[in-house]
Structure 1
């Protein structure tokens, strides 16, 4: 679904990514692990079009989208959930969801499906998003992204600052959706156990370079922890 080759990107005169290459399987999950400052978020921002790469290619389902702006990549089926459980804090949970639903022909159905995926949101539909817990805000951010019916979902550390029970719910949802077909996921994570349980393929990013990669199997955890030195 996604193939990134030789990606070099950064900010102003600072180069953050140095020739990164990876693939995301169709209807599967690939995960990128690394410490803070490794370049994980920059990688996602380059993939979604928020940063223009200095060199390298980004191929989505066989189409070169390297030079496309972010809004055109979104129209081709990429959804991005950045770090930090982002929402419109002054709006209620339902108002946040309706912002997406109202712009779609299938908005009502998409909204109902999102609430079915994250039933905890049904209990807080009238609560301002700014007053939700971290786990609820993350589920809201995921629900909003999934309502666009993406082919590729980019997730930036969805488990950060979230209680373990919600982490398990999010993991189950990701695996269920990718297992149905029609959705591929590029997951950026620091939690090795969660990432490897979710992914068919892993990549370790260190100082903007891929230093280790392989299939996301039970045997991979030792190799990943060694690569991360944890």
Structure 2
């Protein structure tokens, strides 16, 4: 795909595949085009050429809401929440009559149980990130798209998010597209990786800690 903002091209013939039920990481430095890639995938930014395909269906011209119905769940950068609403209300907004589904999210992120009645704006960054991921999971996505989930997060919460991604992905029912600068986290969480530089794919391979030095050398400036 090729895409950008106005006359400024950001992505140049980028092709990425996320197999069903697998985790894939896209890594790159600031300005590489990672967030633009995710915005295109969600339909928040039109593409100049190419296509977006979900389960064999071309959804290139569809709205973001249609892509959510097709199974995309999106957690953008910034630990977004509804700050004046409580943690419980944030979750109920997505699943108003599904207490069992909310309980499943709280099992995945136990730290949220203690802050259910606290306004989201008063939560720590790590708690807000877990809340954001939890809200996305309540939509029952086939593919969860995460944009820099570890940014500004304490190491213990990073480990919790990593554990959750691995647990969800181990079932083979949920695919994950992870955009991340934290190389170690990304390679542990994903089975395959791509390196994006200046809007172009400059490398790819299998995940795992053994790939760390190779990826860091690709991202070196």
Please give the per-residue CA displacement for 1:137-191, whole angstroms capped at 9, x wherever unaligned: 0000000000111000000000000000000000010011011121000000001
Within the candidate set 10, 14, 18, 1:16 is matched to 10
Report the Cα offset of residue 217 of structure 1: 3.0
Residues 184-208 of structure 1, C-alpha deviations (whole Å, 9 max, x = no match): 0000000100000011110000110
Other-structure match for 1:170: 161
The one of 139, 142, 147 equivalent to 2:130 is 139
Partners in 2 of 1:83 and 1:119 — Cα distance? 22
Q: TM-score, normalised by structure 2?
A: 0.98
1:42 aligns with 2:33: no
2:70 paired with 1:76: yes
In 1, Cα distance between equivalents of 2:122 and 2:2? 39
**Quick check: 1:180 aligned with 2:165?**
no
CA contact (8 A) 2:184 2:209 kept: no
Alignment partner of 1:85 out of 79, 85, 101:
79
**Displaced runs of 4+ in structure 1, greater than 4 A?**
none
Q: Which stretches in structure 2 are left out of the alignment for 5+ residues? A: none
Counterpart check, 1:121 vs 2:112:
yes
* Structure 1 residue ranges without an equivalent (≥5): 1-6
Q: TM-score, normalised by structure 1?
A: 0.94
Aligned to 1:220: 211
Say if 2:94 is the partner of 1:108: no
Specify the alignment match of 2:91 in structure 1. Answer: 97
How many corresponding residue pairs?
Answer: 221
CA distance in 2, matches of 1:211, 1:199: 18
Q: Please tell me the root mean square deviation across aligned C-alpha atoms, in Å.
A: 1.0
- The separation in 1 between residues aligned to 2:210 and 2:111, in whole angstroms, is 34
Q: Is the 8 A contact 2:144 2:176 kept in 1?
A: yes
For residues 208 and 33 of structure 2, the distance between their equivalents in structure 1, rounded to whole angstroms, comes to 24
